[in-house]
Amino acid sequence: MDDGIRVLVTGAAGRMGREVVKAVCGADGLALAGAVDIALVGQDAGNVAGIGSIGIPIRADLEAALRDLRPDVMVDFTIARVAQANIMIAIDHGVRFVVGTSGMGSEAVEAILHKAAVRGAAGAIVPNFALGAVLMMRFARAAAKYLPDCEIIELHHDGKIDFPSGTAKATAHEVASARGDAVGHARGLGTRGVEIEGVPVHSVRLPGLVAHQEVIFGGPGQTLTIRHDSLGRDSFMPGVLMAIRKAVSLDRVVLGLDPLLD
């Protein structure tokens, strides 16, 4: 368990956290150093993740875990308010971070970026770890140069509280940047509808969904739809593992997976 990049997972008892524990334990060159959550404290993280006992109990105190276990990378899948605090603690302990928690506002991200810059910390804040979603955003940016009129529809499971999703916000920014109008703030368009940097975004929350997004472009006599579907949480794990491996050589905080693909 001591070989490779040592990873600590926060939110280890949650749905995504369990998948990360499972993925890290099965990945070459990575080792699970610890697991933190306020739920299921004391239970074996492997048993919670469904892979059997691995001898790593879930702990409640992140600061103590970072101090005692000395991981190389902290992976956070919690909730926005907790994630921001966790990242600040990781920075204080000189631990790189990979964050998939959604719902963090721009002020929270700016605060993280500022502290990381002051302390020389590095990590990745990623709205969507699915590699296909990253490609969808790239393709949307390319399309926006030629078909500037578009709307975004993002669809997620009914347990996702925040809306619009981080992926939808990031896509809207890519579209607006390509059109040259990446300015302004989000404004409401009604229930679960906002306009982000001039791009209308609509949110759907229903049981049976996982994570899906359509970017629909329209022009004279034609439409273009770019769609990505995550059909299970395992779709995010290749991106998570890639981010962990890349994080150890980063010299700054990056936003999204795109900077890590090249």
Active site residues: 156, 160
Q: Six-digit token pair at 199?
A: 């791009």
C-alpha to C-alpha distances, 127 to 55, 71, 113, 170, 196, nearest whole angstrom: 31, 23, 15, 8, 16
DSSP 3-state of 149: strand
Indicate the helix (H) or strand (E) that contains 115.
helix 106-119
Q: Which residues contact 222 (CB under 8 A, 6 or more apart)?
A: none
Distance from the first to the final alpha carbon of the chain: 30
The secondary structure of residue 110, as a DSSP letter, is H
Helix and strand numbers, DSSP H then E, in the chain: 9, 13
CB-based contact 76:87 (threshold 8 Å): yes
Give the whole-angstrom CA distance, residue 73 versus residue 9.
9
